[in-house]
């Protein structure tokens, strides 16, 4: 599995247009062969920061994604919305993806330190 994380720093005045483009990308990319997940997340401390997390079955699927018409269209518009270059990191996992559900009550409580 390949995980790609991209950080977008959006211009405030065009953020809504960028989010529309991103929502369209979610819809289209999730239909692609090999797409495990594809989602954008808004920053809490910086509302103009958006993070994309995408998971692909393998490198071939990711490369096919980069060649799609909707990716080409998105990249052609992206520069209009950014205040700085996109930061991207890729991670490769040899393991099968697994999802484990844990409730907050099952997590150990952190130790508290008094200063």
Q: How far does CA 59 lie from the centroid of its chain?
A: 16
Nearest-angstrom CA–CA distance, 89 and 23: 21
The predicted pLDDT at position 99 comes to 53
pTM metric for this prediction = 0.79
Residues in the chain: 115
What does the buried/exposed string (b/e) look like for 87-113 if buried means 16 or more CB atoms within 10 Å of the residue's CB?
Answer: eeeeeeeeeeeeeeeeeeeeeeeeeee
- Going residue by residue through the chain (115 aa), what tens digit of pLDDT does each one get? 999 999 999 999 999 999 999 999 999 999 999 999 999 999 999 999 999 999 999 999 999 999 999 999 999 999 999 999 999 999 998 765 555 555 556 656 555 555 4
Q: Name all domains of the chain by residue range, CATH numbers in brackets.
A: 2-94 (3.30.70.100)
The predicted pLDDT at position 105 comes to 62
For residue 62, the tally of other CB atoms under 10 A from its CB is 19
Nearest-angstrom CA–CA distance, 36 and 96: 11
């Amino acid at each position: 599995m390949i995980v790609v994380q991209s950080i977008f720093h959006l211009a405030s005045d065009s953020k809504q247009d960028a989010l529309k483009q991103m929502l369209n990308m979610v819809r289209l990319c999730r239909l692609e062969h090999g797409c495990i997940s594809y989602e954008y997340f808004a920053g809490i401390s910086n509302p103009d920061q958006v993070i994309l997390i995408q998971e692909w079955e393998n490198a071939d699927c990711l490369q096919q994604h980069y060649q799609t018409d909707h990716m080409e269209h998105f990249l052609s518009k992206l520069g209009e919305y950014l205040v700085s270059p996109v930061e991207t990191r890729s991670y490769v996992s040899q393991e099968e993806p697994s999802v484990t559900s844990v409730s907050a009550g099952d997590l150990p409580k952190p130790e508290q330190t008094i200063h």
